[in-house]
Structure 1
Amino acid sequence: MRQGETRFLNTTGSDAYDEYHALLARQDAMRLRRQMLFPARPPSPTAVPAQVAGCSYDGGADQQTITRYLPLVTPFSDLIAHLYEAMFEGHPYLRGLFPDSMEFQRVHLERAFWYLIEHLDRPDEVAVFCARLGRDHRKLGVRPVHYEVFEAALAEALRRSAGERWTEALEQAWLRMLRFAVAAMVDGADEALAEPAYWNGTVTDHQLRRPDLAVLRVRTAEPYPYRAGQYARLQSPLLPHTWRPYSLACAPRPDGELEFHIRCTGSGGVSEALVAHTRVGDPLRLGPAQGSMTLDDGLTRDVLIVAGGTGWATAKALLEELALRRPPGGSTHLFLAARTLDDLYDTAALAESERGRPWLRVVPVIGEGPGAAEDGTVADAVARHGDWSRHHAYVSGPPAMVTAMVRRLTAMNLPADRIRHDPVDGTVLPPSPGSVRSTVDLRTGSNT
C-alpha cells in the first residue's frame, strides 16, 4: 500500500459490498431476460396508482401544502438527520451501503428535496429528472425495497421534526411527492437494465500538471457510451461507496480511452485520492454519463465557449467534436479564464486545438500577474468582444464564474435555451412568502 493511502482505504465490508453488487448484477440479468421474453412488465412493487404516476397527479396542490408547512420541517438538515437515524435504526444493514462520512449524502438529499418542492407543479419535468436519477442510482445498489424503507423513515422523520404540530395533511403531501418521484426512478432504473450499473476502468496514464491537479486517462473493460460535454461520477477503491462527478475531457475516441482533469479541492476526499494517491494500473469505477451540455444535432449557429479552471476539460471535449461536425462556415470563440498564466495547465493541448483550425479563435483571460487582462473578469471580456445573441453558448468552470457568465449572457439577449452550462453548486435558499426558492444541483462544484 502506498504512503498516505491508509487514511483513505476502509476495507470493512468491502468484500461484502462487491458480493452484494455481483448478486444485484445477476438479478438484473435475470430481470432483463424476463423483459425480453415477456415484454409486458408487471407493476413495480413500489409503483403508485396511475392517477398519481401519470400527468393527472396534482403536484401543484401538494406543493402548496408542503410549502405551507415548511416551517415545521426546516431547516432540512434536522429532518434529514432524523430520516437517516430512523432508517438505520430499523435496518442497520443499510449503513454499509453508504460511505463513512454522510455529509455529502445529506447535502445531496437536501438539494433533491428542494428541487422536488420547487418543480412539483411541473410533474413532467420531475419525472424526467427522477428517471435519470434512478438510472444513476443503480450504481449504488439501490433496489425498490430500499425506497419503501426510505418512505417509512421519511414519515418518521416528519413526525419527529414537526413534533406536536405534525398534521396528516403534511405527511401525506410529502409521501405523495416521494411516491411520484420513486415511480419515475424505478422506471428509469428498469429502462437502463440493458446497460451496466457502473463500468470498471483502469488508469492508463496519470500526469501531475500541478501539485493539486492531475490529468487521468482511463480505459473501461466495456465500451462506455457518452457524448462530448457530459460528465461521469467516479469511485476510487480508496473510498468505497463515495462517488464524485468529473467532466470528460474528450469526445468519444476510436480507442475508447477517456480523459479526466481532477483538481484536489480538499483533504481526505475523492479528489485527493485521485490526484495524490492514484497511479497507472489502479482500478476505478464509473457511473453512467450524465449532463446536457452537448452539441445539438444539426447545429447551425456559431458557438461561444467560456471555460475556467478545470472547466477547460469540457471545452476541450466540445472542441474535439466541433472539429468533426461544425456547421459549414461556422465559427467558434473560446474564452479561457485563469487566475495566472501558470494556471493554464494544459497549454500543449490548447495549442493543438488551435492548430489548423481557422474557424477557432481563442481568447485567454488572465486575472492577475503577467499577461493580466484589461477587461477584468471573463464575463467582462466576453461582453466587450461582441454580440453573442445569435450564438449557442457553453459555460464550464467554477460555480461563481458560471453563474456570473450565464447572467451576463442572458442580459446580452442570448436566449436561455441557447445557454448550456455546468450545473452550479449554489446555496439552498429558504422559501420566501408565497413561493419556493432554491438553487439545486446534484452535480456539485465541490468535488472533494
Structure 2
Amino acid sequence: MKTFKGLGILMICCIINVETIAQFVASDIKKEAPNKKWYEKISLRGYAQIRYNRLLETNEKLKCEQCDRSWGENGGFFIRRGRLILSGDISDRLYIYVQPDFASNVSGTFQHALQIRDAYFDLALDTHKEYRLRFGQSKVPYGFENMQSSQNRLSLDRADPTNSPVANERDLGVFFYWAPTKIRERFSYLVSSGLKGSGDYGVFAFGVYNGQNSNRAEMNNQPHIVSRITYPFKLKSGQIIETSLQAYSGQYVIEKHAKNNAKNVSFNDRRIAGTLVVYPQPIGFQAEYNIGEGPEFNPNTMTTEHKKLQGGYAQLMWRKKIDENYITPFVRYQYYQGGKKHEIDARSYLVKDLEIGAEWQLKSYFELTAVYTISDRTFEDANLPDNQQKGNLLRLQAQFNF
C-alpha cells in the first residue's frame, strides 16, 4: 500500500516541477484575451430524466436503493436526475466544470434537494492539454460505465458490481490524466456521434481521493488511490474497440445499525476490473468484471466482516437509424456477490438481473427508454437479515436534453 502511494506520488512529481508550472503560468498570462471576461467563456447545458417503474410489477418488495429509490412500494413518477452543467475554458490552461443536481434524494425519502455532483478544475500542463491535473469533486476513474454519463448510457442504471465501489461515481481528490491529442479527439467523437462513449478520462489516469464517496466527510487519515489504463483502438473497417484495466485501494469506514455486532468499522477496500467495449457500429458489445475485497454484512453472525467480492455485467446492443432518429435495442445481464460498503452495515448482496430494453432517440432533445427487468436480489443487513426478493417490472424513462 505505502509502496503504491510512493510510486504514484513519485510519478506525478516527475511529470510536474516548479519550473514547468512557472513557464505555463507565464505563457498563459501573455495569451489571455484582455477584453473577454471569464463569464463570457462559460457554457450552460443540462438534461432531466423522468421515470415510472410500476408497470407490470410482480413484487413491490423488490427494491434497488443504489440505482433508483422509486422501485417498489410507494414509488411513483420520479425525477431521477435534473442536471445543469456550467463549463468552459477560462484560459488556455484552465477548464472548469460545475454540475449541480436538482433531483438528489434526501435520505429515506423521495424529496428532492440541490446537491453538487461535480465541481472540478482542470489545469493543463502543456499547450496541447495532453497532460492535465484535475482538482475537486469529480468521477473516480474506475470502470467504463461509471465514467459514461447517464445522459448517454443505454441501461437506466449502472450495474451493481462495478458501481458499488464508488457510489455516485464521484469523490473529492486530485487526479492526473494523460492522452495524446489524436485519442482525445477520438474520445470526443465517441460521445458526439451517439456511440455511447465514456468521455475523455485519459489513456492513463492516476488519482488520490478521500474514499468515503461524494458529499461525505472523510473518516480516516488514509486516502484511496486509483489508476486506470484505457485505449480506444480503431480498426481499418472503422470499428472502434476499447479495452481498459483499472484498480483502486484504500480503507473504508462503514455506518452500522445498532443490531450489528461488529466492533470494527474500518475495512480494507480494494478492487481490480477489466473492460471490453465494442461500439455499436451498428452491433455492439460491452462487458466489465471486477474482483476484490471489502466489508460485507454476515447475517449468520449479525456482524460486518472483511470478505471477498466479485461480479460484472455483459450487454449486447444494436444501433439503427430510422429517418432522422435512432433506436437502440439492448440486452444486459449482471451478477454481483458481495457487500456494498456505502450502505448501512455494508449490506450483503447477491444480484442476478436480466434487462431487455430499447432506447428511442428523437432528434437531440428527447429520448424515450423502456426496459423490462427480471430480477432476483438478496440484500441483507442487521435490520433485515433474511431478505431475498424476486420479481419483474417494466421501467419507462423520458429524457430531455437542453
Higher strand share: 2
Could you say which structure has the larger radius of gyration?
1
Q: TM-score, normalised by structure 2?
A: 0.28
Q: TM-score, normalised by structure 1?
A: 0.26
Higher helix share: 1
